[in-house]
Amino acid sequence: MPSVSPIDRVGKYVSPKEWNQLISNPDTVVIDVRNDYETRIGKFKRAVDPCTTAFREFPSWVDERFKLNELNDQLEPAGSTQSTEEQVEKTENKIPRVAMYCTGGIRCEKASSLLLSKGFKEVYHLQGGILKYLEEVPKDESLWEGECFVFDKRVSVEHGLVQGAYKLCYGCKQPVSDADMEAPEWEYGVSCPYCCSSKSEEEKERARARQRQFERWGIIGGPDKGRKPTKTRETEERNPKQMSSSI
């Protein structure tokens, strides 16, 4: 990641109430700065998804998406009779206006600094991020589609910051829907459709052992649930006398 200071140089903040007008403009490129597992469950209409797995991949995506290296090469074409100022102006006209957003706004400060350092002139980002937008903008006026992944016990939120329907896969920490949990790859505390194929059987067995320990300790569920367990069959089989004496 280039060493740019998000404090010294950032894009222009846009309030949630002004955001719809900006991203509805067809000349504005709307970019979701979050990672793929976040964008999968919700994003703004017209948003471009970089499909990154980590923020460190974002700079190279920007270069590729906007062909910045090709634009820079156009500044000094062989045999050009245009002045440098004319070449720069022509190149800048090919760089679009950008509106970006993330969960709470922090990643956008870094991302907008990056774009400004690469020659973008019009860079905007959503003040307070998606969470502020969902808090302030009524659902019937919203351009948001889906739910917003959050890094706390709620897992996802909807308009009004109401807890959403997604749960968490404890194998990969990605959000999963009810449909995902009906898939054959889903195993509670072990794997889901998004990580099952990438995990070895040894990794899965370690996860199963960990889950059995959680159940013995009375820890079942987790950030998305917090339910207390009933006695497991294994515990009953190992302690039949204790179980019978407690009845």
Per-residue pLDDT at 111 exceeds 90? yes
Residue 228 or 147, more confident: 147
CATH of the domain spanning 12-149, picked from 1.20.120.160, 3.40.50.720, 3.40.250.10, 3.40.50.970: 3.40.250.10
Section 181-206 average pLDDT: 96
| Percent of the chain whose pLDDT exceeds 90 | 68
| Segment 185-207 mean pLDDT | 96
Mean pLDDT across the chain: 83
What amino acid occupies position 207?
Answer: A
Torsion-angle region of residue 111: left (phi > 0), alpha (psi -120 to 50) or beta?
A: alpha
170: closest CA among 210, 197, 213? 210
Could you tell me the pLDDT band of residue 218, with boundaries at 50, 70 and 90? confident
pLDDT for the residue numbered 244: 43
| Domain ranges, ordered by start, for the chain | 12-149, 166-228
The pLDDT assigned to 67 comes to 83
* Residue 243 pLDDT: 39
The answer to whether 187 touches 195, Cβ cutoff 8 Å, is no
Residue 57 is classified by DSSP as G
| Catalytically active residues, by annotation | 102
| pLDDT of the residue at 9 | 86
According to DSSP, residue 55 is labeled: G
Higher pLDDT, 129 or 80: 129
Are the C-beta atoms of residues 210 and 219 closer than 8 Å to each other? no
Report the DSSP beta bridge partners of residue 99: 30, 124
pTM of this structure:
0.78
As a whole number, mean pLDDT of residues 10-21 equals: 97
Q: What is the pLDDT of residues 52-93, one digit of tens each?
A: 999 999 999 999 998 866 544 443 444 445 444 444 444 455
Over pLDDT 70: what percentage of the chain? Answer: 74
| End-to-end Cα spacing for the chain | 62
pLDDT of residue 126: 98
User: Is the Cβ–Cβ distance between 171 and 195 less than 8 Å?
Assistant: yes
pLDDT at position 125 over 70: yes
Give the model confidence (pLDDT) of 134-192 as tens digits.
999 999 999 999 999 999 999 999 999 999 999 999 999 999 999 999 999 999 999 99
Supply the pLDDT for residue 221.
Answer: 59
